[in-house]
Amino acid sequence: MLEEFEVADVIPATPQEIYDAWLDSDGHANMTGGGAMASAEVGASYTAWDGYITGENIELEPPRRIVQTWRSSEFPTGTNDSRLEIVLDEVDGGTKVTFRHSQIPDGRGDSYKQGWVDHYFEPMKAYFGG
């Protein structure tokens, strides 16, 4: 059975700043602390966290929404990619960033949910709020 979840937090930056950093190799790496290769083109492949995460851009709606395929190096062989939707909503104090992660292989959802907090929200707050 596939898993899904949604997690959100407020990051002290504009939607445009986050959108641009997410889809730029240096920006993504600086924002998270892990090596990345990114592109702002639909259909382009990307990597994050030194190749631990790979995928492809499916839909891009600047500066509000990014949809990507997503898989970690822990996905079982033969498993389809999961789906990541990133929604950027301007709020007081910055941008509410919502990760909607779906089609995750069974048993991995809780780990990835915590990973978004530890390896994205916390470093992003430090980077943009620094």
The reply to whether the predicted model has a pTM over 0.85 is yes
Range of the domain at 12: 3-129
In this prediction, residue 1 carries a pLDDT of: 86
Query: Residue 62: its pLDDT value, please?
Result: 98
- List, for residues 87-109, the tens digit of each pLDDT value: 999 999 999 999 999 999 999 99
CB 48 within 8 A of CB 28: yes
Domain count of the chain? 1
Alpha-carbon span 20 to 39, nearest angstrom = 10
Neighbours of 34 (CB within 10 A): 17
CATH number of the domain enclosing 20? 3.30.530.20
Render pLDDT for 9-37 as a digit per residue (tens, 0 to 9). Answer: 999 999 999 999 999 999 999 999 999 99
